[in-house]
A and B are shown apart, each in its own frame.
Chain A
Amino acid sequence: MSTNSSNSTATQPIRFYHQGRVVDVSGVHPTRTVLDWLRDDAHCTGTKEGCNEGDCGACTVVIGELAAPGTAGAIDGLALQTVNACIQFLPTLNGKALFTVEDLKRQCATVEPPAAHANGTKRPTVPLHPVQQAMVECHGSQCGFCTPGFVMSLWSSYEHHQADGTRPSRQALADELSGNLCRCTGYRPILDAGQRMFDLPAVRLDTRPVVAALQGLRAESGFEYSAPLGARTDRFHAPRTLDELAALREQHPRAQVLAGSTDVGLWVNKQFRDLGDIIYVGDVAELKRVEERQGEQGNELYIGAGASLEAAWSALASRFEGLTDVWLRFASPPIRHAGTMGGNVANGSPIGDSAPVLMALDAQIELRQGSRVRRMPLCDFYVDYMKNKLEPGEFVQAVAVPMSVASRRVRAYKISKRFDCDISALCGAFSLELDDKDCVKQVRLAFGGMAATVKRAARAEAALLGQPWTQASVDVARVALAEDFTPLSDMRASAAYRLQVASNLITRLWMETRSQDALPVQSTSVWSVMPHAVAGVEGA
């Protein structure tokens, strides 16, 4: 392919902040992972590979980005977030800062060595960062292989809480560490360390040199990178504006759109797919907006397709009841920081957890092609297994949730083998509104894991609409549900289990929302015993 494309005539080096300086990288393939670069090229072997698919957290690193003033969670102009280095492509680091376990001790150069180390040995001891020191003192490492990943997740927590002047509860620590697997300790000592680290003399990241370096890397126009691979050259386009993105998408309809690479990363690492040209949407600030705005049909929550899963779920859970568990159970913090709700919806996996919730909330999906913007109900978007109505050159721009739905009772129930970071066997998301006679005025019963696409249970909904919200009606809906779905058996669950639980979840919904004798969540969910403390959301 010749370089006739108007905006990709030249390749630029990948420039990012690492270990106190800006590094320039060129010549590596656009899909070289951050982890491989760290271990093989930079010879920083502290970050480990455990699974190479973002599920174990041994490769957890922290990414720093310039944050606009007032950005929630930003620390002195810097947004710090954990990601899995094994599924992040190196060019996505352009303009950002990369922090790894090797960076922590260097922050402590001015700190006096703790007494335990000043024991008369001749060897000069470099003090450990409080996160590391707490891990040592609480016996938080055994084999030590997962430890650098835990240390980085804890460090991210440490910096955020220090900045806010808060301390995490043990439940909050467990939630923050849900993407880090440890096979040795059973986690108790690591959670201990997560508390202990705040009791040690504080060491804070000096963000000033980082911010200065990142400001120096700021670019007005999009980032273009390419590197030869055998006979061909794969390009990495990172536009800055929505218009640039739309233009690029039209010019390169076959290029792979890349957001958080939480799925695309696996295509490369596990399936050895050649992605060819890539359009990375992560630098388009407009695409990351999450805001309430006036839409054609009233006020709506507008979630840009580039908004992280964490930002999107946080916005949803703070506005609609009953979504906290699904939010916290969606993958892990590093995945939620990298991945986007737009990507989850566009990817359209039948077991993705965003779509059932968004369908229960009557969300619209907003698609863009060039200057054309169109919308459709999300429940109309999926055609068949991993097939949707996106046209060539078109991309998902946003999802929008009508705020009028806030008057309904909303519940989302995720069923999987493990609470944290598991893929749903099934996920049921429901919304319900009763009229003044206790009859069903509105009902949405959306399910993932029950069919080739996420979809609403049309027959069960019809069976309930207008009916009194009673056990008898629920029983009719349960029968109808069996007509709605013919689920599969796989390693996550059998078809019979999926169908039985799907109908039981309607019963659970009824027990929690019936007018007479409604059961509190403490009586219906084993997870209610977990005292999640989530910003903006009360209880579980």
Chain B
Amino acid sequence: MNKPVDPRLLQNAEAFADYLANTAARIDADAEAKALSQGKRVGISRPHESAALHVAGEATYVDDIPELTGTLHCALGLSPVAAGRLAGMSLDVIRAMPGVVDVITASDIPGTNDCGSIIHDDPILCSGDIRHLGQPVFAVIATTRNEARRAAARAKEVLQVEPAEPVLTPREAHEKGRYVLPPMHLSRSTNEGGARAAIDRAPHKFKTTFDVGGQEQFYLEGQISYAIPKEGGTMLVHCSTQHPSEMQHLVSHALALHANEVQVECRRMGGGFGGKESQSGLFACVAAVAAHKLRRPVKLRPDRDDDFLITGRRHCFWYEYEVGYDDDGRILGVEVTMVSRAGHSADLSGPVMTRAMCHFDNAYWLPDVDMHGYSGRTNTQSNTAFRGFGGPQGAIAIENIMDSVARKLGRDPLDVRRANFYGKGERNVTPYLQPVTDNIVDDLVGQLEASSDYRARRVAAAQFNATSPILKRGVALTPVKFGISFNVAHFNQAGALVHVYTDGSILVNHGGTEMGQGLNTKVAQVVAHELGVRFERVRATATDTSKVANTSATAASTGADLNGKAAQDAARQIRERLAACAAARHGGSKDDVRFANDKVQVNGREFDFSTLVAEAYMDRVQLWSDGFYATPGLHWDRESMTGHPFYYFAYGAAVAEVVVDTLTGEWKLLRADVLHDAGRSLNPAVDIGQVEGAFIQGMGWLTTEELVWHPKTGMLSTHAPSTYKIPTANDCPPVFNVRLFEGDNFEDSIHRSKAVGEPPLLLPFSVFYAIRDAVSAAGDHKVDPPLRAPATCEAILNAVTAVRATH
């Protein structure tokens, strides 16, 4: 068994590329410099607008805002059991503790005790029915944060609880028919009899189950709200949130105020990833209720462990599917049941399941398909948005199927995937009946297959495995197709304000929020480009509900698409007014006035931008403007689950190579090659940052990041970074080749760019399937490895053991 190993195969992985090579491979600096000199401000790799503040520790997050005199601090008392009834509370014990000013319960909420975002089933503070272990029951308000925390930590001693048996897993909820929403069904029949008949007729078929775990957002800055009472009973809330307008609504409902009496501001978040879309609401509401009652500023910043215990995260999914396919691996029919862990309330579980079902196809034409989605109600934290928003959970199921079909047929998985790709002009309608008209998956995957040397590395891995008794290598290529837009049409709107001041400096404000993704950088670039000025003239300011009203969440990757277009609209109006003013003063046609590189050319003469601005002010020209954008052509029928929910699709693909230890299940990513479609990128460096960050984050989801609830008590035992392991610098592969695909968005998006926040989260499917390939090698690829996600060392070793036992 222990044949000598070819020494060539024992070499270390290829060396790390140095930073100059990394930059050169990613960014065409010469082309960008040329474009910049020609007046372009988009398509340029400008650093993050706050980068200099970040590195100096000068970027202000909510907890860094100088506190007002009299500021009090809040901590939440949490339920020590997962289910039952709250029979009573002995809060005098808490009130007597050092520094405690007040204890707030549900009865102190003047308005509605609810912070549910769509369905109003989410109590701010427990009012009797205990939903999960960690549910906030009361809020301690104290002079210092540590005093508040110490008092709140005694919740277990002061709460009288009648415990009940909790339901903790999605399968258990499914068996008991406990859902937070009615089941969803999406079927498409191309041939008679639909999926069932197609499977029955198929030459090959199999039926199996699959498990994919959830994921904690682990934003580095935890949840935080700082509520400041203002005159006339109104409220200002500084909140780390992706959705200031929703915070405004939730706080106004909780305080029984009108929306115009609540102002929510967010300059930046220290990461969001979906975790601060709806779930910042509880913290905003509690802080506001306390500030309202005590007429003093109140800050609520839960400790990291409490953040884990209170807030939800990416839904874990359990799948059961039956597949029929032909000799080439073409899928003829699929039936799939998906059950998610919604947690104790609906939160965003409905839209998450919708997106999962709209991404089960990923890049593949599925002629006959029958999908059933169930959002299981469990006594755990209410799960919510997380980058991808169900899309990754939908798509990984079909990728698992592709991988299995290839193995069962003894074919290269890439060939099976390719056989199923959407066609161009035919085989191009999604199960929800939107045609795929911008398909580039074949071209993109072909380029990556060549640049990554995929075929040769598959052969090399097989050679390595033939002579390596313990370590096995695996290589996999997976594609991504991801629909861009909110699945609900009316969310796809945005507003912006652009002010040009008389000194020629420009301020832009829009409805999107900055969580690190570079939205403000991109929007400022769009404005600078439109007005033909240098970057430094344009400053973006905090998102503020008193500036742009009725904003949508910064979510679904739409931030730059929507707010970029709205800011462009505002800037364009100002430019047109400036052009008219210039032509009126200096002659020529207003249509011939040119704005570039801080200069204005009119009728053969050239002025500084600021000179024209000063002139325009004297001419009483409005130098500020609003802007608005609504994505065209979207519709969605919730009942039939059909329509045109997405403006366009973003594509990508990745190749991963791993080595797996069959004695321990340890593994290491040796190399990753990525080609991702960001359309005509607004900022290649920012987009590459999104792609790489999403790749590593998604890899964490599928490998090291494991959520473990105690099987009896429902206690989340992985509630801190000591036990919940997100990737570190050493998990970044030594060889990481990342490029953006060359090509415009087919649709008229902002400068023909494409959204880039979520789609690359699916790229590290390649890592999971490379691991599965390596595990499969332990059984000479004869057995389909029963590998769950996350593929922890233990999950991998279990799969190896199973493969060897069957083999």
Contact = CB atoms under 8 A, between A and B. Distances in A.
B63 interface: yes
Interface stretch (B192-200, B377-385, B666-674): B666-674
A506 to B, nearest CB: 10
Contact of B268 (A132, A144, A192, A524): A144
Contacts of B516: 141-145, 184
A165 interface: no
B96 interface: no
A195 interface: yes
A520 to B, nearest CB: 7
Given A144-B516, A531-B12, A135 B220 contact: no
Interface stretch (B312-320, B631-639, B722-730): B722-730
Contact of B729 (A101, A183, A191): A191
Contacts of B692: 185-186, 188-189
Contacts of B731: 187, 418-420
Contacts of B730: 174-175, 178, 419-420, 530
A50 interface: yes
A128 B53 CA distance: 10
A193 B729 CA distance: 13
A187 B792 contact: no
Interface string A485-524: 0000011111001001100110110010000010110111
Interface stretch (B43-51, B77-85, B127-135, B329-337): B43-51
Contact of A504 (B221, B664, B697): B664
A511 B57 CA distance: 50
B615 interface: no
B663 A505 contact: yes
B20 to A, nearest CB: 8
Interface string A119-156: 10100000010011101111111111111100100000
Most chain-B CB neighbours within 10 Å: which of A142, A186, A422, A497? A186
A71 interface: no
B63 A51 contact: no
A128 B801 CA distance: 54
Contacts of B708: 490-491
B430 to A, nearest CB: 30
B591 interface: no
Nearest to B688: A139
A52 B304 contact: yes
Interface string B141-169: 00000100110010000000000000000
Given A143-B269, A144-B59, A181-B728, A504 B659 contact: no
B793 A192 contact: no
A418 B469 CA distance: 23
A183 B686 contact: no
Contacts of A415: 664, 666, 793
Nearest to A135: B55
A286 B692 CA distance: 48
Interface string A9-48: 0000000000000000000000000001001000111111
Measured as residues with beta carbon below 8 angstroms from the partner, the interface class of chain A is 35 or more
A501 B57 contact: no
Contacts of A140: 55
Given A51-B720, A173-B729, A497-B797, A192 B22 contact: yes
B770 interface: no
A294 interface: no
A170 B2 contact: no
Contacts of A529: 12-13, 659, 668, 670, 734
Interface stretch (A53-61, A304-312, A400-408): A53-61
Contacts of B666: 415, 525-527
Nearest to B17: A170
Interface string A403-427: 0000000000101111111110100
Contacts of B268: 143-144
Contacts of B16: 169-171, 191
A222 B469 CA distance: 59
Interface in B1-36: 2, 5, 10-13, 15-16, 18-19, 22-23
Contacts of B55: 101, 128, 131-133, 135-136, 140-141, 144, 147-148, 151
B51 A494 contact: no
Contacts of B469: 511, 519, 523
A185 B8 CA distance: 33
B659 A142 contact: no
A417 B51 contact: no
A182 B273 CA distance: 13
B517 interface: yes
B624 interface: no
Contacts of A151: 55, 57
A177 interface: yes
Contacts of B665: 497, 501
Contacts of B693: 142, 183-186
Nearest to A532: B730
Contacts of B64: 45
Interface in B231-276: 268-273
Interface string A174-215: 110110111111111111110110000000000000000000
Q: How large is the interface on B (under 10, 10 to 19, 20 to 34, 35 or more residues)?
A: 35 or more
A46 B56 contact: yes
Nearest to B717: A491
A136 B52 contact: yes
A418 B798 CA distance: 17
Contacts of A147: 54-55, 57
A492 B736 CA distance: 29
A174 B515 contact: no
B706 interface: yes
Nearest to A527: B668
Query: Which one of B218, B273, B663, B726 has the greatest number of beta carbons of chain A within 10 Å?
Result: B663
B664 A505 contact: yes
B723 A492 contact: yes
A151 B146 CA distance: 28
A369 interface: no
Contacts of A66: none
Contact of B219 (A104, A183, A423, A490): A183
Given A52-B303, A53-B720, A181-B220, A143 B732 contact: no
Nearest to A413: B664
Nearest to A58: B220
Contact of B663 (A188, A507, A522): A507
Contacts of A195: 18-19
Given A423-B722, A519-B470, A191 B732 contact: yes
Nearest to B725: A418
Nearest to A517: B2
A195 to B, nearest CB: 4
Contacts of A188: 22, 692, 732, 736, 738
A520 B48 CA distance: 46
A180 B728 CA distance: 7
Contacts of A58: 220
A475 B534 CA distance: 72
Contacts of A52: 303-304
Given A46-B58, A47-B57, A529-B668, A417 B725 contact: yes
The 5 closest A-B pairs by CB, nearest first: A46-B57, A143-B516, A145-B270, A144-B54, A186-B696
10 contacts: A52-B304, A119-B536, A142-B516, A148-B55, A183-B271, A191-B16, A192-B19, A418-B728, A419-B668, A519-B470
Interface of A: 36, 39, 43-53, 55-56, 58, 100-102, 104-105, 119, 121, 128, 131-133, 135-148, 151, 169-171, 173-175, 177-178, 180-193, 195-196, 230, 270, 272, 413, 415-423, 425, 490-494, 497, 500-501, 504-505, 507-508, 511, 517, 519-520, 522-531
Given A132-B52, A188-B736, 20 more contacts: A143-B269, A145-B221, A145-B516, A181-B218, A183-B219, A185-B689, A189-B689, A196-B19, A419-B668, A420-B729, A490-B717, A491-B723, A493-B794, A504-B664, A505-B664, A508-B470, A523-B5, A526-B668, A527-B668, A529-B659
